[in-house]
Every structure is written in structure tokens, then in C-alpha cells.
Structure 1
Amino acid sequence: MNSIEKAMDQLGSGPPLEMDPAQTEDVQEQKPRSGRHERPPEDVDIELPYKRLRRRGLLTPSDSESRLAEEYRLIKRPLLLNAFREAQQALPRGNMVMITSALQGEGKSFTAFNLAVSMAMELDYTVLLVDGDLEEASLTRWLARRDMTGFSDLLEDPDRDVSEALLRTDMPRLSLIPAGKRHPQATELLASGQMAQVTEEISQRYPDRIILFDSPPLLVTSQSTVLAGAMGQVLLVVESGRTPQHLVHEAMGLLDTESQWVGSILNKGERFSSGSYYGGYYGQYG
């Protein structure tokens, strides 16, 4: 049995984790909740719309004792361990993690944001969340504005510095690079040599930071396959009861399971009588 088949067997063996579908409605900026997670205004580029994010079912710092927060603590732990292994066991570019799915609407952006918040609540790590889904740009529409300098601008203009697109949020230890302006050749941008240079720079510039990329679905566009090549870890989000197993096999087959750590999470399942949402999270490192 090959590594993909083993992962698929594991994926089907656990109860699912319920998550909301990816949202598409634009978000207006709002004042953050008061408390220890605020920063002085002069240190902030954007303020996260905490109230609206919570209404969408997304994780915020004030939910640190919630069941959702506990579930993401379990989900993030292997990713953090892989990202910051001892030198002799170091995973190449282990701090670069792509969150993707086989199809659109399986909850990858929801997962990427919640992971970023959960990791940012750690005391020892900082997090950079990159919206690499240049077409949908869900994270950008939730948190910032589409006309802000972002990932696509870094890919288009070699003279731009990464710092020009990096936005400090009012959540300590969490920064964002939005998708950037729409581009008619988004696929070509992500397949360009400049993309490799930008991702390498991000990885090397922030070796003590974990970098999460929200990417397009693997079976919808070739963009995510190209982006995956720059990652040390990939998390595949699978919608429970919707995505056929053969499509998950096909999506897994596009990933380099021999040299990357590949994990999968079963999403949008039913709530159980115990009240638990937590379900399958499995991975392998070749």
C-alpha cells in the first residue's frame, strides 16, 4: 500500500471536524476587542474585524478557551514540530506551510485563518499569513482590501521588497500579506522564476516564523501545484460527504509526498452527541 493509500485509509477512519464554508462577502474593518491582544495604533497596519469574524465562526483570541481553539491546538502541533525541528532533523523549508484542497469551497481559507490565529496565540512563534489564492482572495476580502499591495505585486515587480506588502495586524505575532491586485496572468505569475525567488526570500528572511499560504484548489488550477513546490509542508482540506475519494487521491498525487510532509483534515462534518467537532488529521513525511 503506497503512502497516498495509507493516508486515505487514515482519512476515512476518524470523525470529521466541522468548519464553516469559505466566506466570500467583503469585510469592513472594525475596532478590535479590548484586552491583551491589542497593539498601540502606531504599530498596526490593519485592525482585524474581530466581531464579524466571530459571527462567521472563525477563531479569535478571545475564544482561547473554546472547543474550536482546543481543536486547532491539536491540529497545529505537528505543523509546529515539523517547522522547528532540531538542526539534524530539520525539514527543508518546514516553516513554509500551504493550506489547500482538491475543490473549491471545502474550507481551506477558514482553516488557514484559524491555524494562523491559533499559532499566533503561542508564546514562542510569530506567524505570517499569505493569501496565495490570487483569484478568490477570500482572506484578503475578510481582513484587508483587494487594492492593497500584496503577493501578486511582489510576483509582478522584482524591485518590490517583501516588506512593502507585509501588513502588521493588531493581533501580536500575526502579520498578513494580502493577495494583491487582480492580474490577468495569475497562473503565469505563480509559475514564474520570480515566485520562486519571493517564496525563498520569505522563507530565509523569517526562519523563526511560520508562514501559512492559502492556495487555490489543486484540481481547479495549476497554480497551487506550482506553489506547493516551494513548501515544506502541505495541509489538504477535504470536505466530508462531498469530495469523492478518487478526487482526493488525484489531489494527493499532485503533491510530493516523498520530500514534503503532507497532512489532511476532514472538514464540515456533523456535530456528535458529545459536542465534539474534532476529527481526522493525518500526515506523513516521506
Structure 2
Amino acid sequence: MDDNKLYNALLKSEGERRRQAQKEGEAKSEDHFRTERPFAGSDRARPNWVKVDMEHSEYPPTVYDSSISLELIGNPRPWSSEQLRARKIIYPGMPDKAVMDAYRELRIQLRNRAGEKNFAVMFSSLGSRGNSVLTAFNLAASFAMDSHTSALLVDCDPYKQDLSKLVSIEMKAGVTDYVADKSLSIRDILYPSGVARLSVIPAGTQVSSAVELFSSVRMRDLVSELKSRYPDRCIVLNAPPFQETTEARILERFADQIVFGIPFGDVTAEVINESVDALGSDKFSGVVFQE
């Protein structure tokens, strides 16, 4: 075989290998929903190798399997199906399939918009009646259902303490405490949620100075650290109502995408349009109607 034929044969073989790799990396479509593209930590034909310093390690190099490592995330008090149902938290196999499918579809759209990198989504209600943190929690839980993905819910609404009703352990210090107190580390404010592969950070106790704290350099560094620490983590920021507070306008700068919550029967089309216009960026990704 001459050099040209060999070269063409190699190109054809490489093309077939890539097409097969793409096919294996895609999740199977469920019902009539769109196909979900592979995420940063998803299973792929080409392994994601971990660099090991052989001079200082007695262990040989290995292949990083995110589905195995993510199972090591601590969850000392997991919720049962009955406990999840009582708190209106979504879970695999739940009876209300329509609700589950709605969150799956939202997850697919957000991932497809972000590409193959990890990202932060800010969720903010446009009304005062919607349970913002429950919707944000369920959105994060939908990402955590993927065995190759972890999720982190960062509650940035210091005016409500509803997150404590959704988490299976007691929480103390949170975002505002961390930003105000430089002696605290991220580990001091990070808690397991009761849902596998989903961690949470509460809003904290510093309510009156939240605007100044969210505007600080330490807050910016916190979000940057959370986004860069794990390539297979999706971050959901739960913000106070967008129309009623200043905090949501400040938190918008830390998000890659923004989703508005619409309490059913509480918000007009004019308010939605005004909020999107006030946002003034291409980060707006859609709305979620809340009960």
C-alpha cells in the first residue's frame, strides 16, 4: 500500500472512531425529550487520565471514573423515598413522572446551552409567593441524578431559612458568614443534603449586610473557587426575588445562566418582560412556573 492510500485509510479509521465515541458519549433519549449532550464528567471512549507523581506515590496511574469518585461524596443521613416525597423533592422513580420529566427537560436545555464545561445557574423568583429554594433545590437534584455529575446548591437568600427544611442535617455557618469571616474555610460551610451527589451551602446569618458582602472580592473568589474545583459539578445559586431586592442584581454577575421562577397567577407578562430587559444580558435561559 502506497503512502497516500495508507494516509487515507488512517483518516477513514479515525473518522469512524470519533463517530463511535460521540455515539457512546450521548445519553439515550427518554420519551420525546431531546438528547442530552455529554457533560464534563460523563463516560467517554477516551479516558480522562489522572496525573500521578510516581516519585512520591506508591500507587500506579489509574483512569479517573467520575461515577465511582462521586459516590464517595459524604451523605451520612440520606432521605428515604417517603421523606423526599413529603418534602416535594424529586427522585428517580417518583410517581409524578410529569414533574420529573419537566426537570429533566430543563437540565437538558441548560446543559446544551452551556456546552461541555461546568457552569453556574442563578435561579430567582419574580414574585413573592413562589418557594424559590425548593425549585432551586430540585434543579440541583436533577443534575445530581446523573451518576457522572455532582451538584452544589448555594443559597444566597439570607431573608429566608427554608433550605433547612430540605436538608437532612443541621447547618450553621453559610455564605454570608464565610465572606464576613476570613477564618472560615469552604469546608466550614459545605454540607451534605440528604440527596446523593448533592451538597449545599446555606445563606448564613449575616442578613443586614448581605448586599455589601455579595459585592465583595471574597464573594467573587468563593464562586470562582467553587466553579473551578470540580469539572463535573453544576452549581445552582438561589437568589432573592429579582424585582424586590438588590442582591439578585449583584449575584447575576457570578452566573453563566439565569432562570426566573414565575409563581402561578402572581406575575404578569409585563413583569417578565421588564425583568428580562432589566437583566440586559444574554444569560437569560428561560422561566419555570411554580405552584
TM-score w.r.t. the length of structure 2 is 0.67
- Identical columns (%): 27
Give the 5 Å matches for 1:167-186.
Answer: 167-186=191-210
Query: Distance in 2 between the 1:192 and 1:146 partners?
Result: 27
Q: Which amino acid aligns with 1:63?
A: M
Query: Distance in 1 between the 2:248 and 2:200 partners?
Result: 19
Kept in 2: contact 1:131–1:137 (CA 8 A): no
Shift, 1:212, TM fit: 0.6
1:75 counterpart = 2:115: no
1:96 matched residue in structure 2: 120
1:263 counterpart = 2:271: no
Query: Distance in 2 between the 1:61 and 1:165 partners?
Result: 28
Shift, 1:163, TM fit: 2.0
> Mean Cα displacement is larger for which, 181-190 or 131-140?
181-190
Segments of structure 2 that go 5 or more residues without pairing to the other structure are 1-70
User: Aligned-residue CA RMSD in angstroms?
Assistant: 2.6
1:60 counterpart = 2:91: yes
Whichever of the two has the greater Rg, that structure is 2
1:244 matched residue in structure 2: 268
1:138 counterpart = 2:162: yes
Aligned in 2, Cα 1:179/1:61: closer, same or farther, shift over 3 Å? farther
Aligned in 2, Cα 1:97/1:208: closer, same or farther, shift over 3 Å? same
Kept in 1: contact 2:77–2:169 (CA 8 A): no
Kept in 2: contact 1:218–1:224 (CA 8 A): yes
Shift, 1:191, TM fit: 2.0
Deviations 1:81-127 (CA, angstroms, capped at 9, x unpaired): 234x24xxx6xxx6111111112222422221211222111122110
Shift, 1:147, TM fit: 5.5
Aligned in 2, Cα 1:151/1:50: closer, same or farther, shift over 3 Å? farther
> Mean Cα displacement is larger for which, 152-161 or 45-54?
45-54
Q: Which structure's relative contact order is higher, taking Cα pairs within 8 Å and 6+ residues apart?
A: 1
Kept in 2: contact 1:146–1:179 (CA 8 A): no
Instruction: Report the structure, 1 or 2, having the larger helix content.
Output: 2
Kept in 2: contact 1:215–1:224 (CA 8 A): yes
Query: Distance in 1 between the 2:276 and 2:103 partners?
Result: 22
2:250 matched residue in structure 1: 226
Query: Aligned residue pairs: how many?
Result: 221
Q: 1:154 aligns with which of 173, 178, 197?
A: 178
Q: 2:230 aligns with which of 200, 203, 206?
A: 206
1:192 matched residue in structure 2: 216
> Mean Cα displacement is larger for which, 189-198 or 52-61?
52-61
Segments of structure 1 that go 5 or more residues without pairing to the other structure are 1-38, 269-286
Q: 1:124 aligns with which of 130, 141, 148?
A: 148
Deviations 1:39-72 (CA, angstroms, capped at 9, x unpaired): 89x9335544753441243313452873321221
Q: Which amino acid aligns with 2:144?
A: A
Query: Distance in 1 between the 2:209 and 2:82 partners?
Result: 35
Kept in 2: contact 1:95–1:232 (CA 8 A): yes
2:42 matched residue in structure 1: none
Report the secondary structure of 1:229's partner residue. Answer: helix
Query: Distance in 2 between the 1:206 and 1:255 partners?
Result: 28
